[in-house]
Structure 1
């Protein structure tokens, strides 16, 4: 078993089959298939069910996936650590990020990081929910994760560093029902309003469902996993939205009205990673974010 075989194995899983994996790796498909057959002989068990062009993991393959990712990550970390002796002029850090956190605080984090480390590539990987981002980090697909979750969100097998807390705000169009001079809007005042929100499974939707459960007649009219579509829908008058305050500056700049929600609800924003040593680039990114 060698690193090349493990890289081939992981890429087949990520690409969903041998053909696309061969294209991504720039190798001939017969060479890729032969390398995997050799790996299967080494471990003494089949790792894939071959279903036409599709490759589905066997039980043994599923058991091998996370350790294989960890080995490849450790090799990358070792290589990067040696190269960093010459100075961190290049490198790559992967960050799995939820949509709202990609607006803020991620943009500010990258700006501060690149002031000192301009040659390091920050690869932003999308995740729609905190559990999905945690799985990406836990499984080795991303070295860091930036998530927003409730206070009691569990992260088994990961370390979490609190970055900040963001309140939720009510965002309306320029002709919304409340005067822009107001600072707050009470939850009961949302009665009769139409709301645009995300599907269930994240803190933003939980706040909306909580308000409805309190007896407020707030009607969900649009449900979208594409959070970048929420503000344009608000500006077009489809309804209001309950968003994190990371959207507030952008929303006001777009002409929307923004109000604090009363009683308040908060989102805990954290950077997460596995207990294993981070690559020099990821460690610098983490240190830079936590020095804020």
Structure 2
């Protein structure tokens, strides 16, 4: 067994088949298949059921995913540690982020990181709920994650660095009767057509709680694609509850945003696995700490 075989195995898992895995790994499919066959011989069991062009994990294959990611991540950490001698001139940082936080604070953090380490690629993976972010970090699929929580920040499975709070706003089309106002009572969402995210997100939890309290609105669209919120609002489909991160970009495109009263906010956090992290992840965490300290001094 060698690390290359484990990388090919994970590529098949992540890309859904041998052909796509070979393309993503820049090797021929026969070479990739041969390496996986050798891995299966070493382990004494099949890792995939080959069904036509499909590759379906066996029970043994599912059991290998976690240890394989750990082994590959450990090697990547070792490689990155060597690259750190050259002041992070090259390398890669894998990070998971929920959609609204990909607007902010991801943009600010990544911009600061890239200015200091322009040779390091930041690979951002979409995760639609806090649970998805935590699972990707916990299993080693990524090193860092940025998430928003409606309650206390979860720290039982991962290490947590608080990044502040983002207030909830209402985003409406420019021709909405509410346009021009600076604030709206949450009860005034009654009768509105809302564009909402999928269950499990902080924004969805907020609107679901309003409905449970008797605020009767209509769900016009339920979407996993947070990037669709602004275009749908501008098209007049409905209003959307969003975070403070959207305020600037919404105004630039012509949508109107206003505070929701009483104030409700999501807690934003940067999470990582406990223990040693790669130099790139350590540098990113340091930048987050510096920006947070600067923000606190400015208050």
Determine if the TM-score, normalized by the shorter chain, exceeds 0.5. Answer: yes
CA distance in 1, matches of 2:12, 2:236: 45
- Give the 3-state SS of the residue equivalent to 1:291 in structure 2: helix
C-alpha contact 1:134 1:155 (8 A) present in aligned 2: no
**Cα distance, 1:269 vs. partner?**
1.1
The residue number in structure 1 matching 2:258 is: 259
Is 1:113 the equivalent of 2:113?
yes
**Cα distance, 1:45 vs. partner?**
2.2
- Post-superposition Cα deviations, 1:205-251, rounded to whole Å, max 9, x if no partner, equal 11111111111121111112111111122122221111011101111
Residue pairs, 1:49-198, within 5 angstroms: 49-152=49-152, 154=154, 156-178=156-178, 180=180, 182-198=181-197
- Post-superposition Cα deviations, 1:41-100, rounded to whole Å, max 9, x if no partner, equal 222222212212211111121111111111111111111111211222222111111111
The residue number in structure 2 matching 1:47 is: 47
Is 1:250 the equivalent of 2:276?
no
Instruction: Structure 1: give runs of 5+ residues left out of the alignment.
Output: none
CA distance in 1, matches of 2:235, 2:115: 37
CA distance in 2, matches of 1:224, 1:179: 24
Instruction: Structure 2: give runs of 5+ residues left out of the alignment.
Output: 292-299
**Cα distance, 1:176 vs. partner?**
2.2
Instruction: Report the TM-score when normalising by structure 2.
Output: 0.92
Instruction: Report the TM-score when normalising by structure 1.
Output: 0.94
C-alpha contact 1:92 1:120 (8 A) present in aligned 2: yes
The residue number in structure 2 matching 1:7 is: 7
CA distance in 1, matches of 2:215, 2:112: 42
CA distance in 1, matches of 2:171, 2:18: 47
C-alpha contact 2:95 2:144 (8 A) present in aligned 1: yes
- Post-superposition Cα deviations, 1:159-209, rounded to whole Å, max 9, x if no partner, equal 1211121110111122222352x4321111222211111122211111111
CA distance in 2, matches of 1:273, 1:289: 13
Q: Which stretch of the first structure deviates more once superposed, 101-110 or 11-20?
A: 11-20
Cα-Cα RMSD: 1.7
The residue number in structure 1 matching 2:294 is: none
CA distance in 2, matches of 1:235, 1:34: 52
- Give the 3-state SS of the residue equivalent to 2:174 in structure 1: coil
Does the C-alpha gap of structure 1 residues 179 and 87 become closer, same or farther in structure 2, counting only changes over 3 Å?
closer
CA distance in 2, matches of 1:7, 1:66: 12
Q: Which stretch of the first structure deviates more once superposed, 91-100 or 45-54?
A: 45-54
CA distance in 2, matches of 1:28, 1:252: 49
